[in-house]
A and B are shown apart, each in its own frame.
Chain A
Amino acid sequence: MSSRHESNGHHGTWEAWSAQAAKALKRRPLSLAEAKAAFAAAPAVELEAAELDTICQAGIALYGETFERDADGNAPRGSQRHAPHHGLLHERLDRRELPTSLTMFACPVEVTEVSTQFTPASDALSVDPSWTSERHFVGRAAWQGTSAWTPDHDPSADTGIASHEVDWQDTFEAESHLALFDLVPTHADVMHEAVFSQDGWLETV
């Protein structure tokens, strides 16, 4: 919206106020937990083929033929899986849904060897003992911050992580842990983790 339409010229403040008021009124987009509850409470509705066509046509009409591509015009992720995307959703971690015990996030070296750039602040949550486990895994950025990292050991897009003894289920916790310590993964990290998560999962089912 153009600010010339704002009667008071405080657009940014109104945006913040509105978000704050929406939060206070619990009038906000669904959290994942709320989405689960709403989904479970709603009756199943079968769509007819014509309705499916309508939905698909509406999406294409709205976003255009190229909406599958990212903002830089890169190919869809099926062919170029690690191109950073704008507007990522899945990495917006819902802290309410984190496990109470964050028993992972470690790397092949002691945490004390992690670059200070990635070391959690001392006044953050207490570090779980498994932080120093040798079996667990860290996000790409943190891994590169360790003394164990070399270009040769840099996890490649599709095979690097899997070559380590890593439980694929740990990746979300790694991300979560990064976030809790305000070590925000980059988009590339997150996409890497997300792809790995799906791959690991598909191999198990």
Chain B
Amino acid sequence: MTATVPSEPGDAELLRRFRRDRSDGIRGLLALHGGRVRTILQRRYRPLLDANLVDGALYAAAQRALERFDPRRSELGPWLLFIADREAVSLLRGERRHRERRVEWTEFDQPDLHPSPQEQAADAELAAAVREALTRLLTELERRVIEADLDAAGTASAAQLAEAFETSEQAIYAARGRARAKLMQSPVLKKHFEGA
């Protein structure tokens, strides 16, 4: 099979630099693409993640991007963003000290090949009900916690949110508890919850 390789010539040189000297390769990749990826990450994850965490995610992603670069799938720049985005979400979930428990991304990377009309309708129903609940049922803090959980595709770290929202972890847990109880007032959301 002949496949088009999207990688740019500079990508190979960066990979060679990385193999010769890991730190040099990482700095080279960050110098070339880090600024753009950092800007995108900050737009997506501030203030949920502070600047240090965004930078930490970017650094870790640079290493992993070079380790696992697949030149058939992408140029290095977008590849770095792809991995850095996942690093950021792992940090949002408070997983930096538990790398062995990192998020399994399969559910994001392997969407249904052919979602049925019923599945599409169920997604649309759920999305509409969540939007409705976020705008009508929840207080400001409750909404921000639930939205952070959605961004984390699970449960965002209470410690992380407490810092981002300048409150206590207990306040985050309490807000989450109240919000979830309110969400279950929606018959549609309750149905999806019971089926989850």
Q: How large is the interface on A (under 10, 10 to 19, 20 to 34, 35 or more residues)?
A: 35 or more
Count contacts on B: residues with CB < 8 A to the other chain.
92
Output the least CB separation between A59 and chain B (Å). Answer: 2
Give the 3 A-B residue pairs with the shortest CB-CB distance, closest first: A59-B59, A7-B177, A45-B35
B40, A20: Cβ atoms under 8 Å?
A: no
Interface string of B139-155 (1 = CB under 8 A from A): 00000000001111111
A47, B38: Cβ atoms under 8 Å?
A: yes
Q: What chain B residues lie within 8 Å of A167 (beta carbons)?
A: 1-2
Interface string of B20-55 (1 = CB under 8 A from A): 001100110011011111111000000000001101
B150, A22: Cβ atoms under 8 Å?
A: yes
B22, A39: Cβ atoms under 8 Å?
A: no
| Cβ-closest chain A residue relative to B2 | A169
Q: Which of these, B55, B63, B110, contacts A54 with CB under 8 Å?
A: B55
B166 proximal to A (CB < 8 A):
no
A111 proximal to B (CB < 8 A):
no
A interface residues, Cβ below 8 angstroms from B: 1, 5-8, 10-11, 13-32, 35-36, 38-40, 42-47, 51-52, 54-56, 58-63, 67-68, 71, 76-78, 86-90, 92-97, 99, 103-104, 167, 169-170, 172-173, 179, 194, 197-198, 201-202, 204-205
Output the least CB separation between B20 and chain A (Å). Answer: 9
- Residues 113-133 of B at the A interface (beta carbon under 8 Å): 113, 122-124, 126-127, 130-131
A62, B60: Cβ atoms under 8 Å?
A: yes
B67, A77: Cβ atoms under 8 Å?
A: yes
Q: What chain B residues lie within 8 Å of A62 (beta carbons)?
A: 52-53, 56-57, 59-60, 91, 96
Output the least CB separation between A74 and chain B (Å). Answer: 13
Cα–Cα distance between A86 and B85 once the two chains are bound (Å): 18
A97, B110: Cβ atoms under 8 Å?
A: no
